[in-house]
């Protein structure tokens, strides 16, 4: 059983942020425009403070499921956004404006894709029904002074249980303005949510199975999962959903439609204890289904994260024998060989993956790194240049392009891309230095010289922050 983490600060931060935002305002009506504004501001807060998980594969996966479910709904008049919160808490929530947040801990806890789709369907229903908007409309003014410091702690504090405790105290002290859903809200969200879920083709009992699963976590760990805190009345919800399934939704549905849940779970960052727990569970699952490629793949990724590359390669090779054109398996064999310093072997597998899907940016980037490590700098540059207009999860491609140009003795282009790299990381002086150096290598009036001059002008025009005057 996976270890539950008590870190609830995102959920508390959400409550506190709403309290802060509306402290001195009493709404007669909370409009669609108000929802959009608040939802966007809250999303920006999370994004700016690195609370959201930047993993393209995981985010694409959640978005595919979210949009599949969303297509079955008569949605509210705003655009929906699906994001993953980088927290191990088992939680999910919807904010005004169609912003749906799923914690990575919840993704890791579900047994199948239909359970995850059920949670997303429930949150979409809360958003469509504008439940939080209706709560806000009934809210009264409160004194902002008692919340300001605690809001700062929730957003800017050290995190962990200390921050959670501060936030919990703040919520307790502001109980007159709680955003807790009422029973009628939960019933409506479940009624609408199961309609969306069934319309998308998923198994109706998945919504009940998930609630029963996290109640089992609660019983075994003596810790209430945050999903049960933010969505009260779980026993009532199970009873209500069971009655709907018995009377209206008796059809069978799929447990997986998008697919690859085990692979997605294997990519979720975990601590060493949780990784060892996951490894034991995957090995147990493989004894029952030894030719399951997804399980072999997930086990290999877990072993790789535990710094067991030889075991990881063994299980990936077993998976490859069963599925010779599996792009993910080929890619990760290449990545492990690259990490082990065997660039030539890495190139073989990464090239095979690229031949299957030339549009996989992660494979293209890894192949560039393998070429670079083996001294094939022109091939490395060709790979990097394919990504120059792309955003990578953990790297600025400009840096790698600059390095490849440097190895090829093209100093002008090397300085230019180093300038772009430092500009992106907001290091103005370093960016200006490299742009000015780059300018020496290109004739005035050339296309590259013009681009460099624009960069220099843009950086030089930036107004420096005013110097503060010492207090007397």
Query: Using CA atoms, how far apart are residues 87 and 91, in angstroms rounded to an integer?
Result: 9
147 membership: H or E segment, kind and range: none
> Which tokens sit at 325?
């054109």
Collapsed DSSP state (helix, strand, coil) of residue 129: coil
Other CB atoms within a 10 A radius of the CB of residue 134 amount to 12
Q: Cβ neighbours of residue 409 under 8 Å, at least 6 residues apart?
A: none
pLDDT given for residue 140 in this prediction: 47
- Sign (positive or negative) of CA dihedral 183, 188, 191, 196: negative
Whether 455 and 417 have beta carbons less than 8 Å apart is answered as no
Query: Using CA atoms, how far apart are residues 262 and 79, in angstroms rounded to an integer?
Result: 29
Where are the domains positioned within the chain? 9-247, 396-461
pLDDT given for residue 28 in this prediction: 52
> Counting beta carbons within 10 angstroms of the beta carbon of residue 113, is it exposed (0 to 12), middle (13 to 18) or buried (19 or more)?
buried
Q: Which long-range contacts (CB under 8 A, 24 or more apart) does 40-43 make?
A: 40/97, 40/99, 42/14, 42/17, 42/18, 42/95, 42/99, 43/81, 43/83, 43/95, 43/99
Other CB atoms within a 10 A radius of the CB of residue 114 amount to 27
pLDDT given for residue 220 in this prediction: 65
Phi, psi of 403 (to 5 degrees): -65, -45
Query: Using CA atoms, how far apart are residues 385 and 86, in angstroms rounded to an integer?
Result: 31
Query: Using CA atoms, how far apart are residues 396 and 410, in angstroms rounded to an integer?
Result: 19
Query: Using CA atoms, how far apart are residues 362 and 244, in angstroms rounded to an integer?
Result: 44
pLDDT given for residue 10 in this prediction: 43
Dihedral, CA of residue 167, residue 169, residue 173 and residue 174, to nearest 10: 20
For residue 15, which of 200, 139, 184 has the smallest C-alpha distance? 139
Which residues are paired to 101 by β-bridges?
83, 93
Q: What are the start-end ranges of the H helices in 71-112? A: 104-109
Find where tokens 């605690």 sit. Answer: 150
Whether 231 and 186 have beta carbons less than 8 Å apart is answered as yes
Chain centre to alpha carbon of residue 395:
16
pLDDT given for residue 93 in this prediction: 85
Each residue's pLDDT expressed in tens, for the chain with a length of 472 residues: 444 433 444 444 444 444 444 444 444 566 788 788 878 887 887 788 788 998 888 999 999 999 999 999 987 888 999 999 888 888 888 888 899 999 999 999 999 999 999 999 999 999 998 877 776 666 544 333 333 233 223 322 344 433 443 343 344 444 344 456 677 888 899 999 999 999 999 999 999 999 998 888 776 666 677 777 767 778 888 999 999 999 998 888 999 999 999 999 999 988 898 899 999 999 999 999 999 999 999 999 999 999 999 999 999 999 999 999 999 999 999 999 999 999 999 999 999 999 999 999 999 999 999 999 999 999 999 999 999 998 887 789 999 999 999 999 999 999 999 999 999 999 999 999 999 999 999 999 999 999 999 999 999 986 555 555 554 4
The total number of residues written for the chain in this structure: 472
């Amino acid at each position: 059983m996976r270890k539950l983490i008590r870190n609830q600060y995102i959920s508390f931060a959400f409550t506190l942020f709403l309290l802060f935002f509306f402290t001195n305002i009493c709404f007669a009506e909370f409009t669609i425009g108000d929802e959009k504004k608040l939802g966007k501001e809250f999303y920006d807060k999370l994004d700016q403070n690195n609370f959201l998980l930047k993993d393209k594969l995981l985010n694409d996966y959640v978005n595919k499921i979210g949009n599949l479910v969303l297509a079955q709904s008569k949605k509210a008049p705003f655009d929906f956004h699906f994001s993953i919160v980088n927290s191990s808490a088992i939680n999910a929530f919807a904010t005004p404006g169609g912003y749906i947040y799923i914690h990575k801990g919840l993704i890791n806890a579900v047994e199948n894709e239909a359970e995850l789709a059920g949670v997303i369907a429930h949150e979409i229903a809360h958003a469509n029904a504008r439940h939080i908007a209706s709560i806000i409309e009934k809210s009264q003014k409160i004194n902002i002074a008692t919340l300001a410091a605690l809001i700062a702690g929730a957003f800017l504090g050290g995190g962990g249980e200390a921050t959670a405790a501060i936030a919990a105290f703040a919520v307790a002290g502001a109980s007159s303005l709680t955003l807790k859903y009422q029973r009628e809200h939960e019933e409506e969200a479940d009624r609408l949510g199961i309609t969306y879920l069934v319309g998308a083709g998923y198994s109706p009992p998945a919504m009940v199975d998930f609630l029963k699963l996290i109640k089992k976590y609660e019983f075994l760990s003596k810790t209430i999962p945050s999903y049960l805190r933010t969505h009260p009345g779980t026993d009532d919800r199970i009873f209500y959903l069971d009655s709907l399934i018995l009377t209206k939704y008796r059809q069978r549905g799929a447990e997986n439609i998008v697919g690859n849940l085990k692979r997605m779970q294997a990519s979720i960052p975990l601590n060493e204890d949780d990784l060892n727990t996951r490894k034991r569970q995957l090995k147990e699952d493989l004894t029952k289904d030894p030719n399951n490629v997804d399980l072999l793949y997930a086990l290999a990724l877990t072993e790789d994260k535990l710094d067991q590359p030889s075991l990881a390669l063994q299980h990936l090779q077993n998976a490859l024998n069963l599925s010779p054109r599996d792009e993910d398996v080929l890619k990760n064999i290449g990545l492990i060989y690259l990490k082990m310093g065997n660039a030539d072997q890495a190139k073989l597998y990464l090239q095979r993956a690229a031949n299957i899907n030339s549009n996989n940016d992660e494979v293209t980037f890894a192949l560039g790194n393998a070429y670079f490590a083996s001294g094939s700098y022109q091939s490395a540059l060709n790979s990097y240049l394919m990504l120059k207009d792309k955003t990578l999860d953990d790297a600025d491609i400009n840096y790698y392009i600059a390095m490849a140009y440097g190895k090829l003795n093209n100093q002008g282009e090397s300085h230019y891309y180093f300038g772009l790299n430092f500009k992106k990381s907001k290091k103005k002086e370093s960016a200006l230095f490299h742009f000015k150096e780059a300018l020496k290598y290109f004739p005035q009036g050339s296309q590259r010289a013009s681009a460099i001059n624009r960069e220099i002008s843009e950086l030089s025009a930036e107004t420096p922050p005013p110097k503060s005057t010492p207090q007397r």
